[in-house]
Amino acid sequence: MASSDLPAPVGTKKNGNFKFAFTRAIFASMACIILGYDFGVMSGAAIYIKKDLKITDVQLEVLIGILSLYCLIGSFAAGRTSDWIGRRFTVVFAAAILFTGALVMGFAVNYAMLMAGRFVAGVGVGYAVMIAPVYTAEISPPAARGFLTSFPEVFINFGILLGYVSNYAFARLPLHLGWRVMLGVGAVPSVLLAFMVFVMPESPRWLVMKGRLADARAVLEQTADTPEEAARRLDDIKAAAGIPRDLDGDVVTVPKKQSSEEMQVWKELVLSPTPAMRRILFSVLGLHFFQQASGIDSVVLYSPRVFQTAGITGDNQLLGATCAVGATKTLTILIATFLLDRVGRRPLAMTSTAGMAVSLVGLGTGLTVVGHHPDARITWAIALCIASTLAFVSFFSIGLGPIAGVYTSEIFPLRVRALGFAVGVACNRITSGVVSMTFLSLSKAITIGGSFYLYAGIAALGWVFFFTCLPETRGRTLESMGKLFGMEDTDSMAEAVDQAATKEKAVDMPANY
């Protein structure tokens, strides 16, 4: 495909319109704080849970990693829920589930109740990680979409930092109380999120799918430069939703498909996809797989264990070093938000993955050297472990971390976007669950240094995948993404929809018309 055939990047929006999308993206992304907080706080709380409940390493890694698998229920349910009640109210529903899960974990009296709380929280996390990026992508202007749709990852990292700080702050409480307070505090962001939703408009793309064109136009006019641009974007969304361009009004009847809408979406995305749709799905699944299989959750969830192996002793020192990891992740993700729309998704993904692979080799080397000299304190190896860990989370957060959500929310066509994002999240969470539930066992089998060498090899394979399979999406409208993967462009789709509508009218006309 010639580069001249592709649409040019869209220009910068007005400040007022950008501020509107900016604040709404922040509100939606608040849901992701709870996910980050849960991951961060569990890394430190696990130390005290194991002591208090007297559980084994296997029980501990299952407790930590099972949340990612429970996310599958929430991520798939969120796709259907958001298409049914809207993106906005799905955020409220997610907040309610997360609030309940945090309270159950905070008041848990035994391992079984703690696992029940993890189940509830996992479903809520699945809702949050699916709906926040989809909503943000659908409300964002094209020129700032990379910046705004990286917010969920920013808030995940901020939540991780808050979890680490919570570990440090409550570590001095009595053993039976400290970890319960750490987990229960996670209910607070859910309450704030439920109130913030009242100032969030509904996604214009969901409104069009429901035939509410006037409401969609009103939202688009708040993010577009001019009413004319809002009208053009509305026409593109109508075409993507299968609504003829000449069908207008405040509320219209959306043309019905021959088969049920849900089965049609599954058929188009999974059961019998076109070559272009198959390429989109393959790109998303690969992106999410390599993001998690390269070991980020092993570092985030088990950082106290990693630092302990490296030779750092004492709970306060371990939790302090872990806080440094959280602070580094948060700072670098903030840098990434400004680079996504300037540098582009593809260069950041490749640079990030290469840096992660090198950092993992350094971490594996440092841990291996320390492991071979258990009775000696090798300062340079300890320093290498700390530096490599901070470098790894920095490279992850500046590229691969935010890009997975940004890219997935961009490239699926409107009619399959919710389900497509849910499938991507499912792959992400399954891989995350496998990695986090096997890290301790893997470390015992091939040593902890060997585990990070394995992750480095996976990251190198990821770099090859990104180089060969991910086209650049910076600056394009959501409705034009399909062209990158070989789909018809929006104008062709609109023309086809209009022709179909005209033909249907002709068939329905009486013979003597």
Structure-token pair, residue 29: 């992304």
Residue 502 is assigned to a structural domain of this protein: no
Q: Are residues 111 and 43 part of one domain?
A: yes
Q: Are residues 298 and 247 part of one domain?
A: no
Q: Are residues 214 and 271 part of one domain?
A: no
Average pLDDT for runs of 10 along the chain of length 513: 42 59 79 81 86 89 86 82 85 87 91 93 85 79 72 82 87 88 87 79 84 85 77 80 74 62 75 85 93 90 80 75 84 83 86 95 92 82 90 91 83 80 84 89 91 96 92 74 70 44 38 34
pLDDT score at 358: 96
Q: Are residues 451 and 339 part of one domain?
A: yes
Task: Give the HSE-up count for residue 330: Cα atoms under 13 Å, Cβ half-sphere.
Answer: 21
End-to-end Cα spacing for the chain: 46
Q: Are residues 225 and 85 part of one domain?
A: yes
| Total domains in the fold of the chain | 2
Give CA–CA dist 111/239, Å, rounded: 52
pLDDT score at 373: 81
Residue 491 is assigned to a structural domain of this protein: no
> Per-residue DSSP letters for 147-167?
HHHTHHHHHHHHHHHHHHHHH
Q: Which of 238, 254, 270 is the endpoint of a domain?
A: 254
Residue 215 is assigned to a structural domain of this protein: yes
Alpha helices in 210-314 (DSSP H): 213-221, 227-241, 261-266, 275-293, 296-301, 303-310
Residue 11 is assigned to a structural domain of this protein: no
For 360-420, the three-class secondary structure string (H helix, E strand, C coil) is HHHHHHHHHHHHHCCCCCCHHHHHHHHHHHHHHHHHHHHHHHHHHHHHHHHHCCHHHHHHH
Q: What angle do CA 469, 203, 217 make, to 5 degrees?
A: 115
pLDDT score at 260: 60
Contact indicator for 291, 427 with CB cutoff of 8 Å: no
Residue 498 is assigned to a structural domain of this protein: no
Q: How many CB atoms lie within 10 A of CB 257?
A: 12
CATH code, domain carrying 39: 1.20.1250.20
Q: Are residues 458 and 319 part of one domain?
A: yes
Q: Are residues 304 and 247 part of one domain?
A: no
Structure-token pair, residue 245: 């361009």
* Residues in contact with 268: Cβ distance below 8 Å, sequence separation at least 6, in sequence order: 274, 277, 415, 416
* Residues in contact with 58: Cβ distance below 8 Å, sequence separation at least 6, in sequence order: 440, 441
Q: Are residues 166 and 34 part of one domain?
A: yes
pLDDT score at 290: 95
User: Of 223, 23, 200, whose CA–CA distance to 143 is shortest?
Assistant: 223
* Residues in contact with 352: Cβ distance below 8 Å, sequence separation at least 6, in sequence order: 395, 396, 398, 399, 400, 401, 403
Q: Are residues 340 and 240 part of one domain?
A: no
Residue 178 is assigned to a structural domain of this protein: yes
* Residues in contact with 37: Cβ distance below 8 Å, sequence separation at least 6, in sequence order: 159, 160, 162, 163, 166, 185, 186, 189
Give CA–CA dist 126/230, Å, rounded: 32
Residue 144 is assigned to a structural domain of this protein: yes
pTM, entire model: 0.71
Q: Are residues 101 and 183 part of one domain?
A: yes
Q: Which of 227, 254, 281 is the endpoint of a domain?
A: 254
Residue 116 is assigned to a structural domain of this protein: yes
Domain that holds residue 95: 17-254
Give CA–CA dist 108/183, Å, rounded: 10
Q: Which of 217, 232, 254 is the endpoint of a domain?
A: 254
Q: Are residues 432 and 350 part of one domain?
A: yes
Q: Are residues 422 and 345 part of one domain?
A: yes
